Structure 1
Amino acid sequence: MAKSLSFRSGLSSVLFWSVISAAFIGPGTVTTCAMAGSRFGLNLIWTLTFSTIGTIVLQEAAARVTIASGLSIGELLRQTYGSRIRWILIALFVSVTLGCAAYQAGNIIGTVAGLTLLTANVTTAPSPQLLTILVGAVCLALLWQGSTRLIANFLGLVVFVMGIAFAYVAASASPNPVELAKALVVPSLPVDSTVLAIGLIGTTIVPYNLFLSSGIGQSQSLSEMRWGISLAVLIGGFISMAILIAGTLVTGDFSFQLVAQTLTTRLGTWAGALFGFGLFAAGFTSALTAPLAAAITAKSLLDWPEGSTAYRSVWLLVMGIGLTFGLLGVKPVPVIVLAQAANGLLLPVVTIFLFMAVNNKTLLPKASRNRLWQNIALLIIVIVTAFLGLRNLWLAF
């Protein structure tokens, strides 16, 4: 008989799987969502409904394959195809690591930007360089202790507080309930909004999260996993929607300072401060998950044991690149463009393999394979992610 899901185990599972929300809600998400709200009002919020559902479907499939087979996605690739795809595995690892390193630079810069907004009125405010060093030191300490469950639970608590902050600001924006309900489910693409709509989907359905979920979910039951992923990702999607709604108050050339000033002027000092905290939390949680995801991918694809020198060298490399760009105060645009191209190829490749894996009669028992509706949903997501991948490549080149 399947183990029943208690309130305590359910809450623990939500906290644990909030690592997925922490991974996709970074400064890039804050920027994209707030910019969408500023430029197009509520018209693009339906993309967040789609991408939230898509993320749940993909993450559940990846974790289900791992729980049923005992193997992560990378281990399945290695055991199924072996040395025939050795260079493909290495290419996937390099793509994920390059993407994580590029995004890590943005995460560090975003974290410091949030702290700068919070300390703007302090007479002896610390310099951005000092803040960068402090953020890096805390991240290194948490990652070095090596427990993914401890990190995941810590991130879950920060994501929860971040959600309250953004939700409170969004509620104060007083969106029309009828218009909001309609915009959540009715697709709309205003003129010149296509690229931003793709960005909203792409910033939520993140390729390295599939390796992350398959790499950390082995110890859970199916019921714990499904409950935890569904609620944690829904909370993440809700936070993204709250950021977009808050962005509807902003007009003019987008910047974090402008958002904070606009919210302060319209709603009060508390709103600007909450936005600063939300930006800090988004950057800090992603600054932990990007190096962790790169290391777990190395463990999965290249069979590097957790806690080994090789495993730690991966997340140290990602952290080092992020800190370097953060200390220099430079946005790593060329690296991000290259990472965008690499991840544009990675996302459809991984989702296509995942589609094959969840229908594999040899690999999975019948109860763990996809049903018809799951195949339809996953096929739609595969098509969309393939389109996103080709689109990202086109934009990059």
Structure 2
Amino acid sequence: MKRLLGVALGILTAIGGFVDIGDLVTNAVVGSRFGLSLIWVVGVGVVGICLFANMSGRVAAVSGRATFEVIRERLGPRAGLANLGASFFINLMTVTAEIGGIALALQLVTSIHHLLWIPVGAFAVWLVIWRVRFKIMENVAGLLGLCLVVFGVALFLLQPDWGQLAGQAMAPAVPQTESAAVYWFYAIALFGAAMTPYEVFFFSSGAVEEGWKVKDLVQSRINVLAGFPLGGLLSVAIAGCAAVVLLPAGIEVTSLSQIVLPVAEAGGKLALALALIGILAATFGAALETTLSSGYTLAQFFGWSWGKFRRPVRAARFHLSMIICLVVAIGVLATGADPILITEYSVVFSAVALPLTYLPILIVANDPQYMGKHVNSRAVNLAANVYLVIILVASLAAIPLLIITGAGA
């Protein structure tokens, strides 16, 4: 049972990373416009994040220190600052989007305008970070997020033409109604969402919060191999529901209410209620992750005391930095900015920042000074270098495709 509950860190990281507000919408948009012809990207993303998250967790378990902290020491302050700047900017954008996502989910439940829920959501995130122990936080948020499994159940209840869906997935092609540029723009967006930098920093820092040692390396691999593929399967289910219900009806997804429409059609009010709980838990979990990751990266770079395992008064700058991030998020959202649009931009910019995140992790994971005999194997390094090429291509193509397609319009 202890080992089973230990998987909660992987579940929370996966649900918060794969199925946040932006990914909910992106997968639904992709399903409603391309069917399952882009679902291969999810598979590529799952393998990639498993590869690098496992490295990150191993670095934390072996060295007893968070990955970002080791990166700054190993590569020096200049390289660390470039890594900090890219990851912190993406984190802040995603914090803003997730707070907005919480508000949108609460609007669906209560019919009260989401702007009124923004300060409530931000306060709730701060309160959990301030008062709730890390273990309780990850267990509750991760397990409630499993309600999103209802999308998979709904897909079966809809009784789709499985042959047609398999054909879309196994023989991907650009639909006649879409351009190749838009197709590849969404491919990069899905890849950026799967490989978002804050996932590995949160996973690594969470390992330190839980006091992982070398003996916990097996637990780390279980977390990675259970959590992230689960997030990928949930993404596929969301896209599949949209492909079955929204694509034939010509409905383009622009809101959360359209995302849950297939679930309501398949399972009625009970299924809809479970979907809303799952969405709220996923967005709240992602808000916790990104807010904590913002504090983690700043504190680890500047050498501040950090962590929920310390009393707030002993990690004051760590907690203050997170409060500032939440205040900034409230300020941006108060202008009426669309949380979904913010997140869609954040996943594209995540793709731009990926080389600055994953190359340093690969370097550290191969350094015997920190890793001893637990450095990467040749097979892991080969796979990682292949992924670095993919990451570099995605990074270089992201902004040009953003401009050419008008953000996939």
Report the TM-score range of the alignment, normalised by the length of the smaller protein: 0.7 to 0.9
Structure 2 CA distance for aligned equivalents of residues 346 and 63 of structure 1 = 20
Where does residue 3 of structure 1 map in the other structure? none
Within the candidate set 125, 136, 140, 1:154 is matched to 140
Structure 1 pair 53–340 and aligned structure 2 pair: CA distance change class (3 A): closer
Within the candidate set 104, 114, 132, 2:118 is matched to 132
TM-score, with length taken from structure 1? 0.85
Where does residue 4 of structure 1 map in the other structure? none
Where does residue 279 of structure 1 map in the other structure? 279
The residue type equivalent to 1:204 in the other structure is: A
Within the candidate set 106, 109, 122, 2:97 is matched to 106
3-state DSSP of counterpart to 2:376: coil
User: Are positions 1:95 and 2:86 aligned together?
Assistant: yes
Superposed, 1:1-397 pairs within 5 Å as 8-24=1-17, 25-81=19-75, 85-120=76-111, 126-145=112-131, 147-161=133-147, 163-178=148-163, 180=165, 188-190=173-175, 192=179, 193-218=183-208, 219-220=211-212, 221-248=216-243, 249-250=245-246, 251-256=250-255, 257-261=257-261, 264=264, 268-306=268-306, 307=312, 308-331=315-338, 343-366=350-373, 368-395=374-401
Post-superposition shift, 1:311? 0.5
Post-superposition shift, 1:223? 0.6
Post-superposition shift, 1:104? 1.9
Aligned partners of 2:144 and 2:277 also within 8 Å: no
Aligned partners of 1:345 and 1:389 also within 8 Å: yes
Post-superposition shift, 1:353? 1.7
The residue type equivalent to 1:373 in the other structure is: A
Structure 1 pair 148–351 and aligned structure 2 pair: CA distance change class (3 A): same
Aligned partners of 1:59 and 1:210 also within 8 Å: yes
Identity of counterpart residues, as a percentage? 20
Structure 2 CA distance for aligned equivalents of residues 215 and 261 of structure 1 = 37
Structure 2 CA distance for aligned equivalents of residues 232 and 262 of structure 1 = 25
Structure 1 pair 217–267 and aligned structure 2 pair: CA distance change class (3 A): closer
Structure 1 CA distance for aligned equivalents of residues 342 and 54 of structure 2 = 31
The residue type equivalent to 1:93 in the other structure is: L
Aligned partners of 1:166 and 1:278 also within 8 Å: no
3-state DSSP of counterpart to 1:370: coil
Aligned partners of 1:170 and 1:245 also within 8 Å: yes
State which drifts further: 130-139 or 287-296: 130-139
Root mean square deviation of aligned Cα: 2.8
3-state DSSP of counterpart to 2:338: coil
CA offsets 1:336-364 (integer angstroms, 9 cap, x no match)? 79866864453112211222222223332
3-state DSSP of counterpart to 1:135: helix
State which drifts further: 289-298 or 278-287: 278-287
Post-superposition shift, 1:240? 0.9
Structure 1 pair 134–234 and aligned structure 2 pair: CA distance change class (3 A): same
Structure 1 pair 104–363 and aligned structure 2 pair: CA distance change class (3 A): closer
Structure 1 pair 101–350 and aligned structure 2 pair: CA distance change class (3 A): closer
State which drifts further: 65-74 or 44-53: 65-74
Aligned partners of 1:348 and 1:382 also within 8 Å: yes
Post-superposition shift, 1:395? 4.6
Aligned partners of 2:32 and 2:252 also within 8 Å: no
Structure 1 pair 63–105 and aligned structure 2 pair: CA distance change class (3 A): same
Post-superposition shift, 1:261? 4.6
Structure 2 CA distance for aligned equivalents of residues 130 and 297 of structure 1 = 30
Q: For structure 2, list consecutive stretches of 5 or more residues without a partner in the other structure.
A: 307-311, 404-409
The residue type equivalent to 1:100 in the other structure is: N
Structure 2 CA distance for aligned equivalents of residues 166 and 334 of structure 1 = 23
Aligned partners of 1:325 and 1:332 also within 8 Å: no
Structure 2 CA distance for aligned equivalents of residues 167 and 241 of structure 1 = 8
Structure 1 pair 314–197 and aligned structure 2 pair: CA distance change class (3 A): same
CA offsets 1:252-311 (integer angstroms, 9 cap, x no match)? 232223344565456644455444444333322212111011111123222221142211
TM-score, with length taken from structure 2? 0.83
Post-superposition shift, 1:183? 5.4
Post-superposition shift, 1:146? 6.2
Q: For structure 1, list consecutive stretches of 5 or more residues without a partner in the other structure.
A: 1-7, 121-125
3-state DSSP of counterpart to 1:203: helix
